[in-house]
Chain A
Amino acid sequence: MKRLLLLVVLLGCEQHQPDEASIVFTKVESVIAPTVCGSCDPTQIIEVNGTGLALIDFDNDNDLDLFVVNASNVPCRLYENIGGESITFVDVTQQVGIDIRAWANGVAVGDVNGDGFDDLYITCHGQNYLLLNHAGTSFEDVTAAWGVGDSRWGTSARFGDLDGDGDLDLYVCNYLKYDFANPPPPATYKRQTVLGGPHGMQPQGDTVYENLGDGSFQEVTQEWGFLLEPSFTLNAAILDFTGDGLQDVFVGNDSMANHLFVNTGETPTRFENRGLQNGIATNGDGSMQATMGIAVADVSGNTRPDIFTTNFSSDTNTLHLNDTSGFFDDRTKRFGLGLLSRPLLGWTCGFHDFDLDGDEDLFVVNGHVYPEATVESMDSAREQPVLLLQRTGARFTQVKQEGLFRDRSAVFGDLDNDGDTDVVVAQRNGEVRVLRNDSSHEHPWIIQLQGAGKNPRGLGAKLLVTFEDGTSATRWNTDGFGFQSSSEPQKHLFAKPITSVEVIWVGGESQRVTHFPPNRSILIAK
């Protein structure tokens, strides 16, 4: 009888499920056209990465609008958020004079001239584009005048104040040399014939531009120490990873070692790649991975930015904890983030407190690059679910999501201004899904930052938040580092009453706020 009781107890434990209703997303109907990137069933590597998204409040009306990138000469589109609980977008592409018809892949959002209106940088196979936002009424192609028309195969791009002079410099990730007239031969994966690349192809170096502050950029890739042997770069994150107040650059490469360019603080500006020494170049076993997505959060609670990356199927995603001594330790297993990701091929990922319970959850979009992929043939299907992981204490618990998709990019923000984080996800050659966060929560405490001078969004700033119950949280003001995507830093949402906020701006200047207004919302201006 005792054994039977034990059996019941054991089985009872196995059947315990996390509270799956704690994070709830509802798909909202929208007019957003499906994305296009080559043919539906790709035969070439140029087609497989899909296209990016950006959240940008282009007209400064305090809601987040959506920019959708398309390849194959299908025009990129800008959708204005016209507000409301249902999150309604209207296509304003023509109205604002955007006409990008190219093999476009990614997009970055940043205010390059510091006029308070965010601009767009679009990466392409072929010349990239810088679109200057004229007070939210129109966009002008200023690529040639500003000198940022890199013509290699651009994937992701990031804005950040790399030299600490107050304006936004630009890091452009480049993938490989692809010739439409001379595509690579097929390759073999798990005994299946698949499209060729990237191995056997020629990687292309990244490009770093300094914003000269006079309406132009200057390439400084070599001068600032970024000129390495080229890699298959897919993504990058600009942030102070070493805790010295200076902006560093983490670079994610496809099946090659990742880089961590540490800002040495010297004059003239110089960066050193310390990826290998610091332990972030590979996973803990020394294996080079296929880094697509990058997400940053203080997972360990030591106020340093830890780095989560998404990778290929039959490999695992990787979480590197940023130790205060400057090393990154692969702690994927401890947080239960490894094995569950093996059947998935991950792309954009993001840490956000979706359920407003005080800690950050993790959202990962997935989809295989090979149209032939099935569980039977490659241990991984072509269409895959979103991986949503709820932070529960020291671990993450999977919250199962319905549906199978060929997702690539995602952006995160409060689209309906109801105080929680919604998501927009784009498939490769498929539907763009607007997912409204319908998790139940109380009205949160909201912090917004306003930087000074030519970085009005305060990109790169760090927030140290202390709550009434004595606990604390660390957040960073970034664009989210989505794969080929960019989310404008707009709101930081917190579940608990706040007693103090310390903002550390780029450069190390610190500002402390201890008074919080009754409406629970505060704008902290530098």
Chain B
Amino acid sequence: MLFNKRINIEAKTLLFALILMIFGCEQQQPKEIKLDFALKTHVQLIQEGNTGSARVRLRQYMEAEGESSQPLFLMGLSYHHDKQYAKAVDWFFRAVEANGEVYPHTWHFLGWSHFYLGNIVQSKANFQNHVAWKKDEPDSLFALGLIAMEEGDLPQAESFLRAAIAAAVDDVATQAKAKARLADVLTEDGRWDEAIALYKDAVQQNPDMYEAWHRFSFALQRIGKVDEASRAAQQCELARRRVRPDLYHSTRFPE
């Protein structure tokens, strides 16, 4: 029931986003809002994976200072870090609504949380909000590319992913993953040579990206370069063991 209510509220957010998209061009871009220095420790705790401690301190902070967009955002971020996306959505949504002020990056993480929950409409609306606020935000452009792929709109996906690559000038990780996903789009059109060049570029930029190594290997296999495919597959396995040792441990499923 609560979830349905939230969806209804977010339908209104979608409407708001559409209105923003249409009328927003006459408005000035909001200026970057820096995270409150007093929350620096809380951010650090989340980054270190001490999300439980972060949440205790955030609650204490809000008891003292009152609820506002930034600590609410960080509460959401702590659950996002734990991959508990439904809980993250609840807090992010409160952050968006708090006191009429918005910490803009909340839209971005709200977009990803909805994405991982399979809520494609809400995810798209929030990424669009983020891009409407900052048009060259590479990771939101990347996400919109993924959503366009899911919508079967390959030209749109290609356009967003190329925009993400262009925007991620100083962000090698985002550039690499956008190149690898762009390569995926090209394989759908049978553009294997272009795709292979992009995969190669992507894994050179970020050798830890084991999914891209796998797709690189498969693309090479597809065009008959069996030895190169085998070498890429070996790199995939090495990267996976390096990045995700948890997959080889005794948990039930990759989370």
Contact B86 A375 (CB under 8 A): yes
Interface status of B210 (Cβ within 8 A of chain A): yes
**Which residues of the partner chain B approach A191 to less than 8 Å between Cβ atoms?**
82, 84
Shortest Cβ gap from B168 to chain A (Å): 20
**Closest residue of chain A to B88, judged by CB?**
A379
Stretch in B29-37, B64-72, B246-254 with 4+ CB within 8 Å of A: B246-254
List chain A residues, Cβ under 8 A from B213.
286
Q: Is the CB of B187 within 8 A of A329?
A: yes
Q: A6: CB under 8 A from chain B?
A: yes
A394 to B240: give the CA distance in the assembly, Å: 34
By a CB distance below 8 angstroms, the chain B residues around A344 are 118
Looking at the complex, which one of B3, B84, B218 makes contact with A377 (CB distance below 8 Å)?
Answer: B84
Question: Which residues, 1 to 18 on A, are CB-close (under 8 Å) to B?
Answer: 3, 6-7, 10-11, 14
Q: Please provide the chain B residues from 16 to 36 with a CB less than 8 Å away from any CB of chain A in the complex.
A: 18-19, 22-23
Complex contact B18–A11 (CB within 8 A): yes
Cα A199 to Cα B253 with chains together (Å):
8
B84 and A336 form a contact (CB under 8 A): no
Q: Which listed residue (A10, A189, A341) contacts B253, Cβ 8 A?
A: A189
A197 in contact (CB, < 8 A): yes
Would A335 and B252 count as touching, CB distance under 8 A? no
Tell me if B211 counts as interface (CB < 8 A to partner A).
Answer: yes
B127 at the interface (CB under 8 A from A): no
B102 at the interface (CB under 8 A from A): no
Given contacts A277-B221, A339-B115, A375-B3, contact A200 B18 (CB under 8 A): no
User: Within the complex, which residue of A7, A277, A376, A394 is in contact with B86, where a contact is CB–CB below 8 Å?
Assistant: A376
Assess whether B151 is interfacial by the CB under 8 Å rule: yes
Q: Is the CB of A327 within 8 A of B117?
A: no
Residue count of chain A within 8 Å CB distance of chain B: 50
B83 interface residue, CB < 8 Å from A? yes
* B214 contacts A282, C-beta separation under 8 Å: yes
Residue from A11, A287, A315, A395 in contact with B211 in the complex, judged by beta carbons closer than 8 Å = A287
Closest to A311 in B: B253
Task: Give chain B interface residues in 105-126, CB to chain A under 8 Å.
Answer: 115-118, 120-121, 123
Q: Which residues of chain A come closer than 8 Å to B255, judged between CB atoms? A: 189-190, 314
B184 lies within 8 A of chain A by Cβ:
yes
Q: Tell me the smallest distance from the CB of B82 to a CB of chain A, in Å.
A: 6
A389 CB-CB contact with B under 8 Å? no
For the residues of B in contact with A, the DSSP-based class is helix
| CB atoms of A199 and B215 under 8 A apart | no
Whether A334 touches B152, Cβ cut-off 8 Å, given contacts A191-B82, A375-B86, A376-B86, is yes
Q: Is the CB of B15 within 8 A of A11?
A: yes
Q: With A and B bound together, what is the CA distance between A10 and B150 in angstroms? A: 20
Contact with B along A269-313 (1 / 0, CB 8 A): 000000001010010111100100000000000000000000010
Asked whether A228 is an interface residue with its Cβ less than 8 Å from the other chain, the reply is no
Q: Establish whether residues B150 and A199, one from each chain, have CB atoms under 8 Å apart when the complex forms.
A: no
Whether the Cβ atoms of B214 and A190 lie closer than 8 Å is no
CA distance A198 to B18 in the complex (A): 46
**A338 CB-CB contact with B under 8 Å:** yes
Check if A333 is an interface residue, CB within 8 A of chain B.
Answer: yes
Q: Which residues of A contact B154 (CB under 8 A)?
A: 334
Q: CB of B134 within 8 A of chain A?
A: no
Q: Does A501 contact B (CB under 8 A)?
A: no
Contacts of B249 in A (CB 8 A): 199
CB-contacts of A50-107 with B (<8 A): none
Is A496 interfacial (CB-CB < 8 Å)? no
Question: Is the Cβ of B188 less than 8 Å from the Cβ of A198?
Answer: no
> A342 on the interface (CB 8 Å rule)?
yes
Contact (A314, B149) CB under 8 Å given A187-B251, A191-B84, A279-B218: no
Encode B148-184 as 1/0 by CB contact (under 8 A) with A.
0111101000000000000000000000000000001
What chain A residues lie within 8 Å of B57 (beta carbons)?
none
Flag whether A135 is at the interface (Cβ < 8 A).
no
A417 to chain B, nearest CB (A): 37
State whether the Cβ of A404 lies closer than 8 Å to any Cβ in chain B: no
Is A340 on the interface with B (CB-CB < 8 A)?
A: yes
A377 partner residues in chain B, CB cutoff 8 A: 84
- Do A376 and B87 have beta carbons less than 8 Å apart? yes
Do the beta carbons of B214 and A285 come within 8 Å of each other?
yes
CB distance from B110 to the nearest CB of A (A): 15
Per-residue 0/1 for B225-255: is the Cβ within 8 Å of any A Cβ (1 yes, 0 no)?
0000000000010001000000001111111
Cα-based distance from A60 to B139 in the complex (angstroms):
61
Give B194 Cβ to nearest chain A Cβ, in Å: 16
CB within 8 Å of A: which residues of B? 3, 14-15, 18-19, 22-23, 82-87, 115-118, 120-121, 123, 146, 149-152, 154, 184, 187-188, 210-211, 213-215, 218, 221-222, 236, 240, 249-255
The 6 closest A-B pairs by CB, nearest first: A286-B214, A342-B118, A285-B211, A200-B250, A333-B149, A199-B250
Using a CB–CB cutoff of 8 Å, the interface residues on chain A facing chain B are 3, 6-7, 10-11, 14, 187-191, 194, 196-200, 255, 277, 279, 282, 284-287, 290, 312, 314-315, 325, 327, 329, 331, 333-336, 338-344, 375-377, 379, 394-395
Q: Can you list 5 residue pairs at the A/B interface with Cβ under 8 Å?
A: A286-B213, A327-B222, A329-B187, A333-B146, A379-B85
Other 11 A-B pairs with CB < 8 A, given A339-B123, A379-B84, A379-B85: A7-B19, A7-B22, A10-B22, A198-B252, A199-B251, A279-B218, A286-B215, A314-B83, A327-B218, A334-B152, A340-B120
